[in-house]
Structure 1
């Protein structure tokens, strides 16, 4: 079942709830951009998963992991992939059963990628200086092994997601810290949680709202 939710300025969307492991339920976003020379993605999550799962996945027809944030089997490891180039960040403070924030940044001008968990930065690593280009599909709740599909329940997200923003530039560190602390920050200019329009796939197994 498909349902498209449009922005309603009266109704505040607090969170997306993914209550069970499966290979169907997900949220799909289709940004109008078809070329990105830099990216910042920030989101909040709450989960008790100890297995691998995807936080955020952006795919194009050429690359299923064009910008991808992925929790690895090891508790303290998170990957950020750009144009299918995998970068592994160790020593990350992933916690169970508490709200945390995760942000990933990349800039084609330098090729550098950085991960932030609860406002704490990783080392910077080189990925690619090639722009992300092509029609984009963003999926929350599942891992895209192909463009918009080929989901595996063993890599699905179970828990809650909120406050998803995406920018077409590298957000400065003080704004990332403001995001973590829920202070004032510039809302995403590619995805803005407060103005977001998205499609829920398999609505019967995914819910929204405030609790």
Structure 2
């Protein structure tokens, strides 16, 4: 586009130069006289500076009518040439403006204060100057590096089945998990912000294919290790807000006149971490729900009655939280990291938790076992989810938060891989609560 514009401008300049030459010639010819027969000669006559050239010519030579006709023709020619020049100047200005805009497309426009505006799509890798192609290419290179490291790990594991090899596996699993979250978030960002960039589909497919391959190979490596791992040493990961990613507890809850719910959570989602768990029964979708959505504080719902909880957990760190409740007077207490942060009463007093319901992790139910809303989905990691049908003491809760050997497991629901099913892309990873405290 720049090349064509430059050529047009050169052609216009040549045309203007040529026409200016003709115009100057006509002016000279209009002020001079033609004499002779076979060969044309021009004799120029001096004219006072204040005198009109054409009038002087009239006085000095040609017959009046012929001279008048010639002068009129010359004046008409001059006017036409003048109009042509003005039109060509306007054309030059338009072409120059277009050329400037074309050249300007390759650089960001100046923003307020002389700073350049950001034109790249902000990505989850923290580089706003890169476009989608550059960022996905960077992710592809990172995946290739991880793939090579995984191959080295496989060889190392075959040659030396040691504790160090298992440690390397865990580290690589963590890095691949984090990378997958970044890729998924990046792809969703591209689709939301730039719906026209469909040319990224092929590269996205390659990245996702590589991730799938890496996950499969990690799974193969873990088969032997998983058989020896305790069933409670795992965490659930929900990397994105969706209406299809969740875990379902295989059995229902019994009728309860008191309860304690405890778990480990890690999230940096904003606004709100979402819904760590929800329990629905026929006729009441909000029988027992823990939720933090929008800019609201975390809340506990019992039979649609609400109490606001003083938890602050969306800092990307692991936190241990517990909520206790008794039907008598609806008394509740909230603990974060082993310390009581708040308490209250009149939360659904004298309403027992009903049995025969559905317990979901990661989503809020609008209908029994379904009706999920992506805006209320949990984003982050969840582990060691336990339920008791009594109110635990402050000491018991402290033992849970500090990984004491005296800590108990839930008598209504205890955290075991065999007790839940996962759906929609939620994943399981090895988790050691006590390791998070070191």
Question: Equivalent residues in 2 for 1:125-140 (5 A)?
Answer: 125-128=345-348, 129-140=350-361
Rg larger in structure: 2
Stretch of structure 1 that moved more, 175-184 or 116-125: 116-125
In 1, Cα distance between equivalents of 2:263 and 2:371: 24
Correspondence for 2:381: 160
User: 1:68–1:9: structure 2 CA closer, same or farther, 3 Å change rule?
Assistant: farther
Correspondence for 2:332: 113
Q: How large is the Cα RMSD of the aligned pairs?
A: 2.0
> Which residues of structure 2 form unaligned runs of 5+?
1-225, 432-438
Correspondence for 1:88: 308
Correspondence for 2:182: none
> Which residues of structure 1 form unaligned runs of 5+?
1-7
In 1, Cα distance between equivalents of 2:389 and 2:418: 16
Correspondence for 1:191: 413
How far the C-alpha of 1:9 sits from its partner, in A, is: 7.8
Contact kept? 2:252, 2:359, Cα under 8 Å: no
User: 1:10–1:149: structure 2 CA closer, same or farther, 3 Å change rule?
Assistant: same
Correspondence for 1:11: 229
- Return the TM-score normalized by structure 2: 0.43
Contact kept? 2:247, 2:422, Cα under 8 Å: yes
In 2, Cα distance between equivalents of 1:79 and 1:194: 26
SS at match of 1:64: strand
* Structure number having the greater strand percentage: 1
Correspondence for 1:37: 257
* Structure number having the greater helix percentage: 2
Aligned counterpart for 1:47 among listed residues 252, 258, 267? 267
User: 1:195–1:154: structure 2 CA closer, same or farther, 3 Å change rule?
Assistant: closer
Contact kept? 1:31, 1:190, Cα under 8 Å: no
How far the C-alpha of 1:85 sits from its partner, in A, is: 0.6
Q: Deviation string for 1:66-111 (max 9, x for gaps)?
A: 1111114347x2111111111123x433241100011111111332
SS at match of 1:163: strand
- Return the TM-score normalized by structure 1: 0.86
Higher relative contact order (CA 8 A, sep 6+): 1
In 2, Cα distance between equivalents of 1:126 and 1:166: 21
How far the C-alpha of 1:34 sits from its partner, in A, is: 3.2
Correspondence for 1:141: 362
How far the C-alpha of 1:194 sits from its partner, in A, is: 4.2
How far the C-alpha of 1:22 sits from its partner, in A, is: 0.8
Q: How many residues get paired?
A: 200
Correspondence for 2:400: 179
